[in-house]
Amino acid sequence: MPSSTVWHLEFVNIQTQERRVTYVEKRFKNYANWRKIIDSYPLGMVVTNLELLNGKRINADSKPEILFAVPQSELADILAEHWNDN
């Protein structure tokens, strides 16, 4: 949409390391579901309650919940340790 803001959000599955994306348009009703995540950027977050759309993309109508948010570098260290142990 012209003169609108759209966010490209990327997620990594903690178990499989698969990447998925979604797009959030500020003018759409589902923006309210994502506002807390958008406002928490640039923190790294562990998020639950995401639904897949066609197995390839996160459904923008999901109602995500933030389990915790920390600086991105700290989350990267935690995930690297987790993935190296598994």
Residues 6+ apart with CB under 8 A from 83: 17
Residues 6+ apart with CB under 8 A from 73: 44
User: Cα 82 vs. chain centroid, distance in angstroms?
Assistant: 19
Identify the pLDDT of residue 24: 97
Identify the pLDDT of residue 2: 77
Q: Against a cut of 0.95, is the pTM above it?
A: no
pLDDT in tens, 24-83: 999 999 999 999 999 999 999 999 999 999 988 999 999 999 999 999 999 999 999 999
What backbone torsions phi and psi does residue 20 show, to the nearest 5 degrees? -140, 155
Task: Determine contact, residues 32/24, Cβ cutoff 8 Å.
Answer: no
